[in-house]
Chains A and B, each alone.
Chain A
Amino acid sequence: MADAASSVVSGRPRRYRLLTRLLLLSVLGLVVITRGFWLQGLALPLIFVDQMPDVDAMLLCGGDFRLDEAFRFHQKNPAGQILLVGRSPGRFVRLQILQAPQDLERKELIKRGISTDRIGVVAGLSPDERLSDALVRWFDEHPNAKIIVVCDAFESRTLRWELDRELPRNLSKRLVVRPLASQLYSTANWWHTKRGVAGFIRGWLGLILPVFQRSNDRRWRECNPELFRPAAL
């Protein structure tokens, strides 16, 4: 009697469970089959393209073809300035192992025929200073000037958000962001390369982390060279 009753009660759940599993499997299959479509869709929000007004300078923040882009900009606007980001000298530069990235970029631009007076550096006064603080100083010296900022495509929205957050509104309006495509990947195939996956994750982390991080009080610190020996011996 009890068995009959329990089969009456459990008959529907069993069918229901089977149906749920079938449905889940079909959804999973659909996700796998259409992965190209939605992976591409997931990358699209990372890219931000501003309207292109006439600008007076181009700031090279990143991107694979930034030097070519700077050369094209110079050809179109010979009076325009090319701005490099002045990074604080890292260990390699201090030990004179490598030249500072901005020095290498400057040399390469000069090689391409851009005169030195057209090349400037937007640099922080201290290693901890943000790019936005250096930009505020540059705008003080160049009132009414507009800048186009070129950067890696997957970091373009993060950069736009950072600039909007850290700069006064009247200054952030004078900046336009232009994403540069990578040599190795695009939104249509980023998941095929290591650099594409890293760029995708970095782009999303850049958008998500500021929401959760209360303050940026933890500064990037270089590891003390004295730690290398005790770590090994």
Chain B
Amino acid sequence: MQSGTVSASGTLNPVPVHWTRRKYFRRLVICFFTVAVLYAIAPILLGWAGSWLNVGEPLSSPVDYVFVLGGDADTRPFLAAAVFRAGYARSILIPEGTPPLAGDESIVLAEHQIQHAVLVNRGVPPDAIQQIPGPVDSTRDEALALANFLAMKPKSRVAIVTSDFHTRRARMIFRRILAKDRDRLCFLACPTDGFGPYDWWHYRDGILWYASEYAKLLREVLQ
């Protein structure tokens, strides 16, 4: 396509070639600097992106229940047990997870079984652990299960324990599903093994979890 300026007589005056070249060169320089600046400040941006996902807040007053969400069973139940042992909760709720795949039953335990074993190991009496019927396979399922449970327990307060990067999405889902009871919920951010909000991009699992968390968050916002 020919480019240029239109004169008063209506004829098209072509732009000199060196003008176009200069324009492309300027664009190239801007692109280069933008990439260089982004690369230089990438750790700050990525760290901010990681910490933005964490909306957990420490407990300021005791709650009736601590609800441990499924996943990261090697950290979340430990935090729930710490809350219980500090006298900040009466009981711990664990959702019934999906059973292990066929053939794996002997080498893999269902997640709620692991959570139960951790809680007992950390000094929580078995009668203080309640299993919420499931099976649940997503945060949405867990929110629905808790909604059913809370329908029978009016006025009780629940602290929801999940991994730090999962708190924002969990809060969004729980507040949507338990709209009327949203003030009865608070969210505790559990640190994860391996990586944290300020170094997740150095690890394969960190990239996987944080990137998929953003993708799921986007899906949740669009729904």
Q: Which residues of A contact B (CB under 8 A)?
A: 1-2, 4-6, 8-9, 12-13, 16, 64-65, 67-68, 90-92, 95-98, 101, 104-105, 107-108, 111, 183-184, 197-198, 201-202, 205-206, 209, 213, 218, 220-223, 225, 227-233
- B208 x A64 contact (CB < 8 A): no
Asked if A221 meets B194 with Cβ closer than 8 Å, knowing A229-B86, A233-B86, the reply is yes
- B101 x A183 contact (CB < 8 A): yes
- B203 x A201 contact (CB < 8 A): no
- A205 x B207 contact (CB < 8 A): yes
Residues of A near B1 (CB, < 8 A) are 12-13, 16
Residues of A near B189 (CB, < 8 A) are 231
In the bound assembly, the distance between CA atoms of A98 and B110 in angstroms comes to: 12
Q: Which one of B23-31, B114-122, B146-154, B171-179 contacts A?
A: B114-122
Residues of B near A13 (CB, < 8 A) are 1
In the bound assembly, the distance between CA atoms of A105 and B78 in angstroms comes to: 26
Residues of A near B10 (CB, < 8 A) are 1-2, 4-5, 8
Q: How many A-B residue pairs have CB under 8 A?
A: 116
B196 → chain A closest CB, angstroms: 8
- A228 x B121 contact (CB < 8 A): no
- A64 x B103 contact (CB < 8 A): yes
Q: Determine which of B8, B103, B107 lies in contact with A68 in the assembled complex, contact meaning CB atoms within 8 Å.
A: B103
Sample of 11 further A-B pairs with CB below 8 A, known A1-B10, A221-B194:
A5-B6, A5-B10, A91-B193, A98-B114, A105-B107, A184-B101, A198-B208, A201-B208, A209-B207, A228-B190, A232-B190
Q: Which residues of B contact A (CB under 8 A)?
A: 1, 6, 8, 10, 12, 56, 58-59, 74-75, 78-79, 81-83, 86, 88, 101-104, 106-107, 109, 114, 117-118, 121, 159, 161, 188-194, 199, 202-204, 207-208, 211-212
In the bound assembly, the distance between CA atoms of A108 and B10 in angstroms comes to: 87
Asked if A218 meets B203 with Cβ closer than 8 Å, knowing A104-B106, A231-B190, the reply is yes
Asked if A201 meets B109 with Cβ closer than 8 Å, knowing A65-B103, A184-B101, A228-B190, the reply is no
Q: Which B residue's beta carbon lies closest to that of A212?
A: B201
- A205 x B208 contact (CB < 8 A): yes
- A95 x B6 contact (CB < 8 A): no
Residues of B near A108 (CB, < 8 A) are 106-107
B139 → chain A closest CB, angstroms: 12
Q: Which B residue's beta carbon lies closest to that of A2?
A: B6
- A229 x B6 contact (CB < 8 A): no
